[in-house]
Amino acid sequence: MEMSYGPTIEGLMNHRSIRKFTDQLVTEEHRSAILAAGQQASSSSNMQAFSVIRITDRQLREELMAITGNQSYVLESPEFWVWCADLYRYTMAAGQGSGSERLEEANAEWYTIGAVDTALAAQNAAAAAESLGLGIVYIGGIRNDIRRVGELLKLPQLVAPLFGMCIGYPDQDPVVRPRLSPEAVMHENEYSSSAYASLIAEYDDRHRSYMRERSGGKLETSWSEQMAAKHSQSGRQIGGYLKQQGFRLDD
C-alpha cells in the first residue's frame, strides 16, 4: 500500500520546474504570503541576509532575459523576482556602515551566510507558491553577466544577485524529474563513494526513461551525459564581481 505523508511532503515531492505560464496574474495577497513564507525560513543568527527585487518594468525584464540566454519565461511569467545575498543591511544594523560610508569588507563566511540564507528563503517561497497552485522555475542564468545585473538593479556593496525566480500559474504539466537514490546522497558517520558507480548507473537508466517520456521519445539522455556536457562548458566567472562588491573570498 502506498504511504501518504500529508499535503506538505506530497507537495514537495511533486515539485516540477514550470517554464510556461497562463496570463493569470498573481494577486497581491498571494505575493505577500509567498514572501512572508520566505522570510520565515531559518536564518544564520537571525541576520536575514537576503533581499528580493521584484521586476515589474518590461524593459528591465527584457534586458534580464537577454542576460539569461533569452529564456522567454523571464519576460512572460506574471512574476519575476531576483534573489540577492545581502549583507549591506546587516552592516547598517550593526553600526558598521551607512549609505554614505565605505562599508567594511566581508570574508567568505559572510558570503556563505548570505548565499545560504537566500537559498533557504527562496525555497520556502517556492514551496509556498506551489501550495497556492502556482508554479516556479529558478533562473541561474542571471549570473551569466552578474556585473550587468548588479548595475541594472543598482545593487550596493555587499549585495550580490544569486538567481531569479519566475512565478505564475502553470500552463503545462511536466512529469516529475527523478532524483538520485537516497543511498547516493545519505552517508553515515563518514563520506563514502564506494557505491557511486552502481548508483549512478541505476540513476542513468531512470533518467533516460524520464527524458524519453518528457521529450515524447526524441531524447534519452542519461544524467552522466548531462553532467559531462555541463562539465565541458566554461563556468560563470563571478569571483571578480563578488570581490568588487566587498566580499573577500580568500579569507
Q: Do 249 and 108 meet the contact criterion of CB atoms below 8 Å apart?
A: yes
Length of the chain: 251
pTM, two decimals, is: 0.94
Closest CA to 173 of 132, 206, 214: 214
121 with 192, same domain? Answer: no
The pLDDT value given to residue 100 = 42
Is 249 part of any domain?
no
pLDDT digits (tens, 9 = 90+) for 83-117: 999 999 998 888 765 544 445 668 899 999 999 99
46 with 88, same domain? Answer: yes
User: Where in the sequence is the domain holding 192, given as residue range(s)?
Assistant: 182-224
167 with 195, same domain? Answer: no
103 with 219, same domain? Answer: no
Total number of domains in the chain = 2
CATH number for 144: 3.40.109.10
Question: How much is the average pLDDT of 167-194?
Answer: 97
> Which DSSP string do the residues of 72-88 spell out, in sequence order?
THHHHSSEEEEEEEE-H
76 with 164, same domain? Answer: yes
pLDDT digits (tens, 9 = 90+) for 25-56: 999 999 999 999 999 999 999 999 999 999 99
Rounded CA separation 37/122 (Å): 9
> Which DSSP string do the residues of 173-210 spell out, in sequence order?
-PPPPP---HHHH--BSB---TTHHHHHHHHHHHHHHH
**196's grid cell:** 557511486
Is 247 part of any domain?
no
